[in-house]
Amino acid sequence: MERLTFDLAAQPLRELNTFLHTGAKEGKVGHVSVLNPDGAHNIAVGLDCPIEVEVVGHAGYYAGGMNKTATVTITGSAGTGVAENMMSGKVHVKGFASNGAGASAHGGLLVIEGDAGLRCGISLKGGNIVVGGSVGSFSAFMAQAGRMVICGNAGDALGDSLYEAVLYVKGSVKSLGADAQYEPMTDEDIAAVASLLDQAGLDHDPKAFRRIASKRSLYHWNADANQEY
Longest Cα separation, the chain: 64
52 assigned to some structural domain: yes
Give the pLDDT of residue 229.
56
24 assigned to some structural domain: no
The CATH number for 115's domain is: 2.160.20.60
Q: pLDDT tens, 86-100?
A: 999 999 999 999 999
Q: Which parts of the chain sit beneath pLDDT 50? A: none
What is the distance between the alpha carbons of residues 208 and 68, in angstroms, rounded to a whole number?
A: 32
What is the distance between the alpha carbons of residues 24 and 26, in angstroms, rounded to a whole number?
A: 5
The full DSSP string for 47-115 is --S--EEEEES-B-TTTTTT--S-EEEESS-B-TTTTTT--SSEEEESS-B-TTTTTT--SSEEEESS-
Backbone torsions φ then ψ of 44, nearest 5 degrees: 55, 50
Q: pLDDT tens, 156-191?
A: 999 999 999 999 999 999 999 999 999 999 999 999
**Residue 5, H or E segment:** strand 2-7
211 assigned to some structural domain: yes
Give the pLDDT of residue 129.
98
14 assigned to some structural domain: no
Give the pLDDT of residue 1.
84
Q: How many CA atoms lie within 13 A of 161 on its CB side?
A: 12
The total domain count for the chain is 1
